[in-house]
Amino acid sequence: MDYSKSEWYKRTKEIQTAEFGAVIPPWIFSQNSHPDGIEWRMGGGESQIMVFGIWWNEKKFSEKEAIDYFKRFTPPPRWLMWMADVIWGVDVWEPEEFVNSSFYDKLTELNFIGIQSFLSDYNDPRWAITG
């Protein structure tokens, strides 16, 4: 199904663009969240990720434009690996592996806030699922 033609997509994109000038990244939608959280796989979070993905693909940002977007909406450290995937298509998914990757080096060179705190924030026990 082509969700880009759906009313919920158009409405969400219109509301966020009017308020923020762009569709917002997940950490603005849910500020106290983790990229591995269940909220991104169901409900409002899942819808937001879908809206973001469709909008992002429509924009066809250059690398510089993508970096500028994320400089504007600077992510918490725990979201940096997700952000790198959006910009460059990360081919590593373990946080420890990410820290030793060229993507981490690029984010360091670009002076992304919190890059040195990535592992401690990503692995912080407050994000653990309890039950």
What are the sequence ranges of the domains in the chain? 1-60, 62-131
> Which of 120, 110, 38, 39 minimizes the C-alpha distance to 76?
120
Which tokens is 120 given?
């401690």
pLDDT greater at residue 43 or residue 63: 63
Segment 56-79 shows an average pLDDT of 97
pLDDT at 131: 43
3-class secondary-structure state, position 37: coil
Task: Give per-residue pLDDT as tens, 82-107.
Answer: 999 999 998 888 999 999 999 999 99
Segment 38-60 shows an average pLDDT of 94
Give residues with Cβ within 8 angstroms of 106, minimum separation 6: 84, 88
Segment 69-80 shows an average pLDDT of 97
In the chain, the amino acid numbered 28 is I
- Checking if the pLDDT of 14 tops 80, the result is yes
